[in-house]
């Protein structure tokens, strides 16, 4: 595969860009692999990459029912942060942020990670106390965080609606190292790097059935034939329950909900950070500006269970109202596109990465609305779990038994419904 470097960019600039090789192969499926990862989103691709890179496994396949990155990986609002307080999530998300910081170099692919800061507006003294505790914990445990006064916030982002009676703005809590990355680039970067280490990426390869034998998965029926795997990982996000039932394992504590994203026409530079409005209150809204100039934003789930990758109109209205409430100048922009992805909402707001009742099956799921930022560490720890057949200490409580033990991993994970932590 041709490496991306200054010399090759220069050379191909002279020869009409004819010297680049394919970014990844399009191989025929083999009948068996040492590891099969179901799901060609970011979590599946990252897992395959780290299995090959760190655990010396090269006979690996990623099975994707459509095209890689066609699921949530290519549909999200690309916010990357590590502002978690509770043990288990705190270390995990700080690790993921560190992986993002070096990802373009590691993959030899520009994932356009932009550390433009994640700015959370504070609307009440209670929220200020809660966030101060959270961000102080982050600082004490090796991450970064700042408290901005109202004066500083006004200087940094002058065009917010500071006269909002319902949501008065008292200041902001900020993670400067957080920001955005380009979702497609991350998908293609992981795919290309995994392929170069021998991973077979099999697109249009849907798992349609599962055969079990002696407490293990014997083979996967797919639209491209039967495929066996010594070890099998599920990383199918919103479709986890479907695969779980295919394996006759019953129900999971996961509901599939829809989350929408919105993109406006492009404008000149307007917002140079990720801005969060109304968290923990009656509104929840996040917005940033893409490299092309579009305003990219989103808010709450659509709040009904579905596998459809499209959203409903009341949510469009709600997001429009939030946009107008915090940045009235957005009212002049035209909305170009909106779409939805299928979220795998767990009941306590945290993910699952664990062994399962079947010997050779491993589970990666429950990413809620925050799995984009998680993807590098998700791949890292899931590969570690699959290769070593035991959970790393950081993810040891991210299992299906945590509800029986009353382990709380997320500061807002107060169940019993995803709406309680949405």
Ligand X SMILES: Cc1cc2nc3c(=O)[nH]c(=O)nc-3n(C[C@H](O)[C@H](O)[C@H](O)COP(=O)(O)OP(=O)(O)OC[C@H]3O[C@@H](n4cnc5c(N)ncnc54)[C@H](O)[C@@H]3O)c2cc1C
Helices 42-54/371-388 angle, 10° precision: 40
Residue 43: CB minimum distance to ligand X, A: 3
3-state secondary structure of 72: helix
Q: From the CA atom positions of the chain, what is the Rg in Å? A: 22
Q: Report the interface residues with ligand X, using CB under 6 A.
A: 38-44, 63-66, 70-73, 75-79, 206-207, 235-237, 239, 243, 259-261, 298, 341, 367, 369-373, 375
Exposure letters 315-340 (e unless 16+ CB within 10 A, then b)? beebbbebbebbbeebeebebeebeb
**Which residue in 51, 91, 107, 46 sits closest to 375, CA to CA?**
46
327's CB contacts (< 8 A; 6+ apart) are: 159, 160, 161, 271, 287
Residue number, 244 or 372, with CB nearest to ligand X: 372
By C-beta, is 53 or 152 nearer to ligand X? 53
Q: Quick one: 236 or 295, whose CB is closer to ligand X?
A: 236
- When the beta carbons of 159 and 310 are compared against ligand X, the nearer one is 310
| Closest distance of CB 409 from ligand X, Å | 16
Q: Phi and psi dihedrals of 349, rounded to 5? A: 80, 5
Closer to ligand X by CB, 148 or 244: give it: 244
Q: What element of type H or E holds 101?
A: helix 89-101
Q: Least Å distance between CB 389 and ligand X?
A: 22
Q: Is the dihedral of CA 188, 189, 191, 196 positive or negative?
A: positive
DSSP 330: G
The distance of closest approach from Cβ of residue 144 to ligand X in the complex, given in angstroms and rounded to an integer, is 18
**Cβ nearer to ligand X, comparing 135 with 244:** 244
Compute the least distance from the CB of residue 82 to ligand X, in Å: 11
Q: How far is the CB of 70 from ligand X (least distance, A)?
A: 5
Question: Which stretches within 215-328 are classed as H helix?
Answer: 240-246, 313-326
Residue 294 CB, shortest distance to ligand X, in Å, is 14
Q: Toward ligand X, which CB reaches closer, 27 or 66?
A: 66
Closest CA to 46 of 28, 30, 67, 68: 68
């Amino acid at each position: 595969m041709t490496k991306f470097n200054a010399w090759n960019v220069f050379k191909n600039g002279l020869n009409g860009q004819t010297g680049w090789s394919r970014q990844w192969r399009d191989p025929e499926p083999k009948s068996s692999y040492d590891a099969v990862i179901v799901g060609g989103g970011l979590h599946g691709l990252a897992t395959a990459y780290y299995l090959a890179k760190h655990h010396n496994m090269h006979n690996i396949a990623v099975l994707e029912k459509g095209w890689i990155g066609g699921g949530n990986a290519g549909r999200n609002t690309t916010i990357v942060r590590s502002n978690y307080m509770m043990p288990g999530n705190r270390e995990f998300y700080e690790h993921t942020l560190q992986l993002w910081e070096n990802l373009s170099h590691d993959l030899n692919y520009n994932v356009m990670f932009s550390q433009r800061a994640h700015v959370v507006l504070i609307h009440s003294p209670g929220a200020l106390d809660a966030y101060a505790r959270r961000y102080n914990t982050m600082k004490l445990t090796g991450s970064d965080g700042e408290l901005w006064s109202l004066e500083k916030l006004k200087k940094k982002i002058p065009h917010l609606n500071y006269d909002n009676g319902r949501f008065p703005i008292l200041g902001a809590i900020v993670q400067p190292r957080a920001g955005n990355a380009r979702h497609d680039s991350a998908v293609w970067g992981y795919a290309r790097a995994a392929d170069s280490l021998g991973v077979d990426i099999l697109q249009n390869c849907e798992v349609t059935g599962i055969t079990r034998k002696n407490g293990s998965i014997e083979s996967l029926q797919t639209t491209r034939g039967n495929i066996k795997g010594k070890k099998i990982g599920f990383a199918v996000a919103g479709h986890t329950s479907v695969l779980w039932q295919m394996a006759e394992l019953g129900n999971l504590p996961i509901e599939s909900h829809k989350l929408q994203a919105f993109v406006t026409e492009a404008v000149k530079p307007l917002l140079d950070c990720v801005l969060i409005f109304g968290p923990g209150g009656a509104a929840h809204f996040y917005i940033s500006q893409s490299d092309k100039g579009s305003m990219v934003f989103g808010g709450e789930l659509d709040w009904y269970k579905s596998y459809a990758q499209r959203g409903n109109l009341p949510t469009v209205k709600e997001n429009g109202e939030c946009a107008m409430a915090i940045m009235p100048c957005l009212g002049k922009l035209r909305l170009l596109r909106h779409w939805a992805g299928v979220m795998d909402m767990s009941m306590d707001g945290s993910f699952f990465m664990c062994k399962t009742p079947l010997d050779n099956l491993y589970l990666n799921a429950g990413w809620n609305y925050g799995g984009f930022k998680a993807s590098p560490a998700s791949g890292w720890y899931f590969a570690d779990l699959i290769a070593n057949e035991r959970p790393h200490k950081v993810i040891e409580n991210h299992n299906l038994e945590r509800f029986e033990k009353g382990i709380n991993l997320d500061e807002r994970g107060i169940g019993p419904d995803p709406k309680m932590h949405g």
